[in-house]
Structure 1
C-alpha cells in the first residue's frame, strides 16, 4: 500500500501540473487535509533544484491561504457546532477561559506551533474559534 502511494507521489512530482497540485495540497493541509505537502515538495525540489525556491514559495502561499480557510472554519462553525455542545456539558466557563487565554497568548501559540509536530490545521481552527485577531493571525 505504501509503495503504491510512494509511486503515485513520484509520478505526480514529475507531472507538468505538479506545482498546482503542490499549492492545492498545501492549501488543503493547512485547513482540513491530513497529508503534508512535503510528500510532494521534496521530490519536486530534488527533481528540479533550480526551481526549489519557487516550489517552496508556492507551497507557502497555498499554506497561508489554507490557514485563512481553517481560521474561518473555526470562526464560522464553532458557534454552530462546538459552542452548543460545550454549553450542554457545562463548559461555558472553560470556553470563556480558553478564549481569554488565547487572546493573551494566541500569538505565541501560532509562532511556537512551527517548532512542534502539532498539525497546523488545529492552530488555524482554534484561532478562528477563539476569535483571535485575523490580521495578526495572517501576519504570524
Structure 2
C-alpha cells in the first residue's frame, strides 16, 4: 500500500471505516505511512480527514433515520419523552464541544455521530466540529512526523496518555471559558 497508486483512496476508505465500524485507531496506520511517505504527509492527513467526515455523515444519518424508525420502541423501553427532550436541549447547548472533543480524545466518534443524528443536531455545526477535531488529530500527527520523523512512533507511545490528558484539559478549559464567560 505504501507505494500503491491507490494509497490515498485507501487512506480515505480506512478513515471512513475507522470512524464508523472498525474500532482500531487509524493512527496505527497513519504514523508509519506518514513516516515512509513524507512527501505526501499533508495529503495523507487531508485524505484521512475527508474519509472521517464521510463516515461521520453516514453515522449521523444512521442515527437519525434509525431513531425515526424505532422512536416508539425507544420511548417505551429505554427513555421518556421528558428525558429525551432534556438530552436534545443539552445537545443544542453543548453538542458542538461534545462532538469536537470526540474528534481529538479517545472517546469514540461513533457516540457523537449517533447522538447528533438522533437529536437532529445542526448538520453544518456537526461537520464543523468533527472536522475541527479530526484536523487537529490527523494534521497534529503530520506535524509530529514532519518535525520528529522516525522518532514519532516512540514519542506517541511514550507520551500518549499525557497528550490525551493535555488535549482533554484544553477542551474542558475552552468549553468552561465559553460557558461561564
TM-score of the superposition, structure 2-length normalised?
Answer: 0.64
| Structure 1: segments with no counterpart, 5+ residues | 1-11
The number of residues matched between the two structures is 128
How large is the Cα RMSD of the aligned pairs?
1.7
63 and 107 in structure 1: CA distance in 2 versus 1, 3 angstrom threshold: same
Distance apart, 1:134 and its partner CA: 0.7
TM-score normalized with structure 1 length: 0.81
Q: Does 1:106 align with 2:95?
A: yes
SS at match of 2:32: helix
Is 1:60 matched with 2:49?
Answer: yes
Tell me whether 1:79 sits opposite 2:68 in the alignment.
yes
Distance 1:57 1:115, change over 3 A: closer
Change in CA separation of 1:107 and 1:20 when aligned onto 2, cut-off 3 Å: same
Q: Residue 91 of structure 1 aligns with which residue?
A: 79
Q: Does 1:46 align with 2:35?
A: yes
Q: Which has the higher helix share?
A: 2
Structure 1 segments of 4+ aligned residues over 6 angstroms from their partners? none
